[in-house]
Structure 1
Amino acid sequence: MIMKFIKSQLIEVIEWTDNTTDTMVYRFPVKGNEIKMGAQLTVRESQVAVFVNEGQIADVFEPGRYQLSTENMPVLTKLKAWKYGFNSPFKAEVYFVNTKQFTNQKWGTSNPIMMRDTEFGMIRLRAFGIFAFRVNDASTFLKEIFGTNRVFDTESIVGQLKRSLVSGITDLIGESKIPALDLAMHYNELGEAATDALQPRFSNLGLQLVSLFIENISLPEEVEKVMDKRTSMGVLGNMQQYTQYQAAEAIRDAAQNEGGGLAGAGVGLGAGAGLGQVMAQAMSQNMQVGNNQSQSQPSKPQADTTTCSKCNSQVPREAKFCSSCGNTMVSPKTSCVSCGHELTEGAKFCSDCGSAQELKCSGCGKDLKPNTKFCPECGTKA
């Protein structure tokens, strides 16, 4: 009976089978019991076993199977001043730290992020997404966070991590100065930048921020309504034409409204007249737009035409008036036969020196062209 009691106080197998999804640290139940020297320690993948002696972290065991001895517990051997080959039972606390990734951890802004936008001015943004983390330094994590609890799960620390994430992401979005309308195309870049920027905060706790994703950054409801209206206006295009179309539809519906007697006939006649006016206005405006476009985009001038100085229309070079606007066309220029002063073609005398521009042959009296040296009729020198 006594031997059975003594045997029950000695722990011979130390292991932890995790059947949860959120447990980060599990303390093996050795309180009041002693660990037998030579006991079997099993550390599974994504686990780390930490031996603690009187509140001081001693040996850390990576995944594997161990038979406890002074050789594989050098720190604990030194702390307890054991001699080599010590075989007596001993007391120590054993903590299993889960090093797997804890995924799908949700984060979000509890209060809107104030931001100055180039298009909308001062706006408030809300953001949310998910992140994943893991323990990458069991000793630091036990010192900074865990303490002496029996079990430690993600709920015990996620709240602090979320607040740290929101603070860093808020600062990052504000410094990026990305326009609110362009934030959606930078989710991946912002998530990667936030992961790098926030990693030192996690490292101080013995953790690693594995990934961070931004699922959505939303604008205030009033800003979204303004954006919807602007989008609708862009889709409708020409608002005046759309208004005319709506009016025509309303008149048509009124004309088709079933009504008896003269009242129905009056509505139909009035609707028809109204529809005619609307269509006439639309055609007139379309013709005006067409004329404006033709004036603003003149066709390339032809070799036998010239450009009107008033409306830019192309008219025949010999025309005296523009056929589009009636503007007087400027006559082609020529030069004075005596002084070279620029004159309007057809001028008989020079406005600068007074010389006659029409020459007559002194022999036969035939009219000669300017700069003619000999008369083509009689050969007399001009």
Structure 2
Amino acid sequence: MALMDFIKKQFIDIIQWTEDSDGTLAWRFPMRDMEIQNGATLVVRESQLAMFVNEGKVADVFMPGTYKLTTQTLPVLTYLKNWDKLFESPFKSDVYFFSTRQQIDQKWGTPQPITIRDQDFGMVRLRAFGNYAYRVADPKLFHTEISGTRDNYTVDDLDGQLRGVILQHISTAIAASGVPFLDLAANQIMFADALAKDLTPALEKIGLKLEGMTVQNVSLPEELQKILDQKIGMGMVGNDMGKFMQYQTAQSIPKFAESAGQGGGIAGDAMGLGAGVALGQVLAQNLQQGLQGGGAAAAPQAAAPQGAPAAAAMKPEEVMATLEKLGELKSKGILTQEEFDAKKTELLKKLV
């Protein structure tokens, strides 16, 4: 019976792995009912590592190259099996191959908003997502901590674990970066660098090397987004409050003109003639004068010639009512366009 078993055995002359698909991190060479011939050839291609495991104990690790398997090239395995230096019989051993290529474009993200502590706003919530790349750097550690004795271990098998590790480190990475929450969206590279620095030790513990980390988007809560928009607006006008109010007024004029135009009637016609734009300019000017103090507003009156009758001030609703009447006269042909424009300018000067 022992003789028949010996005859049935197959002896392996070449041990190699040609990857037939992407995403494989570890692969075990099939050894069922087979033994490795002494002097067999081991081929380890670029972007691969090979490792011999004897009865659960990691033995020899081979870098890329071609090797003749003898007691000289397998010193650890020789020691574990207590071989003599001249040992030449076939032997059994588990052989694992590891892919050291970069596993690129791995996605990460926050499925739900996460709460972080911010130096400006206290506790805030955010969403973020991006991608990263890694490779197997330490096959011994990766084998003992992650892949084990499985025939095949893939990127998909590890994906959930790595996503969880990244989410655990986002809060500490933001704190370590020193970037205020409102500036995160504009400093995604700095955020990514801080996250990568925080993640590197965690991946090294399982035999991986982080090769790249990107933050593609940071979503702010709606209320903080409004604050960020206002901050940008202030920056556009140099933090001058008068100019900022003019900026706000200018932003609202198109909406006011659109709503007036949609409302129809004489008010819509007046806005179509440009009354809305002129009104916005006058309002912005009056507002700025009010912010600068009463002295600035009084200066034009002091410069007026003595004895000149002061123009009677009018409220905005009175001006609009008068413009409506003038618009009717113009539409009936009683007033020309030039006369209407002159009256309109005169009325706008009387706004209080």
TM-score (norm 2): 0.68
* Partner residue in 1 for 2:182: 181
Distance change (3 Å), C-alpha of 1:294 and 1:8: same
Conserved 8 A contact 1:70-1:77: yes
Conserved 8 A contact 2:129-2:216: yes
* Partner residue in 1 for 2:141: 140
2:257 matched to 1:246? yes
Name the SS for the 2:143 alignment partner.
helix
Conserved 8 A contact 1:248-1:278: no
* Partner residue in 1 for 2:326: none
Unmatched segments (≥5 aa) in structure 2: 234-243, 307-352
Distance change (3 Å), C-alpha of 1:119 and 1:62: closer
Distance change (3 Å), C-alpha of 1:179 and 1:35: same
Alpha-carbon separation, structure 2, partners of 1:172 and 1:31: 47
2:17 matched to 1:16? yes
Alpha-carbon separation, structure 1, partners of 2:274 and 2:21: 77
Alpha-carbon separation, structure 1, partners of 2:189 and 2:88: 57
How do 1:265-280 residues align onto structure 2 when only pairs under 5 Å count? none
Alpha-carbon separation, structure 2, partners of 1:283 and 1:56: 83
Alpha-carbon separation, structure 2, partners of 1:24 and 1:150: 11
Q: CA deviation at 1:61?
A: 0.8
With 244-253 and 56-65 compared, the bigger mean Cα shift is at: 244-253
Alpha-carbon separation, structure 2, partners of 1:276 and 1:3: 104
- Considering only CA atoms, is the larger Rg found in Structure 1 or Structure 2? 1
Corresponding residue pairs, total: 291
* Partner residue in 1 for 2:192: 191
Q: CA deviation at 1:120?
A: 6.0
Q: CA deviation at 1:5?
A: 7.8
* Partner residue in 1 for 2:248: 237
One-letter identity of the residue aligned with 2:265? A
Name the SS for the 2:186 alignment partner.
helix
Distance change (3 Å), C-alpha of 1:16 and 1:243: closer
Distance change (3 Å), C-alpha of 1:119 and 1:48: closer
One-letter identity of the residue aligned with 1:180? F
Name the SS for the 2:253 alignment partner.
helix
Distance change (3 Å), C-alpha of 1:278 and 1:196: closer
With 239-248 and 173-182 compared, the bigger mean Cα shift is at: 239-248
* Partner residue in 2 for 1:54: 55
Alpha-carbon separation, structure 2, partners of 1:84 and 1:244: 91
Alpha-carbon separation, structure 2, partners of 1:28 and 1:276: 81
* Partner residue in 1 for 2:26: 25
Name the SS for the 1:77 alignment partner.
helix
Distance change (3 Å), C-alpha of 1:287 and 1:48: closer
Alpha-carbon separation, structure 2, partners of 1:166 and 1:197: 11
Q: CA deviation at 1:40?
A: 1.1
Conserved 8 A contact 1:97-1:138: yes
Deviations 1:67-113 (A, max 9, x none): 11111001111111111121110010000011111111100112212
Name the SS for the 1:237 alignment partner.
helix
Alpha-carbon separation, structure 2, partners of 1:239 and 1:83: 91
TM-score (norm 1): 0.63
Conserved 8 A contact 2:126-2:221: yes
Deviations 1:3-37 (A, max 9, x none): 99837511111101001111100000013211110
Deviations 1:160-192 (A, max 9, x none): 111111111222224545333321221111111
* Partner residue in 2 for 1:77: 78
Distance change (3 Å), C-alpha of 1:35 and 1:287: closer
Conserved 8 A contact 1:31-1:93: no
Structure with larger RCO (C-alpha < 8 A, sep 6+):
2
Alpha-carbon separation, structure 1, partners of 2:20 and 2:303: 94
Unmatched segments (≥5 aa) in structure 1: 258-270, 299-310, 314-321, 327-382
Conserved 8 A contact 2:53-2:59: yes
Greater fraction helix: 2
One-letter identity of the residue aligned with 1:179? P
Name the SS for the 2:41 alignment partner.
strand
* Partner residue in 2 for 1:43: 44
* Partner residue in 2 for 1:113: 114
Conserved 8 A contact 1:236-1:242: no
Name the SS for the 2:197 alignment partner.
helix
One-letter identity of the residue aligned with 2:88? N
Alpha-carbon separation, structure 2, partners of 1:133 and 1:287: 59
Q: Percent identity of the aligned residues?
A: 39
How do 1:323-334 residues align onto structure 2 when only pairs under 5 Å count? none
Conserved 8 A contact 1:50-1:94: yes
Distance change (3 Å), C-alpha of 1:64 and 1:177: closer
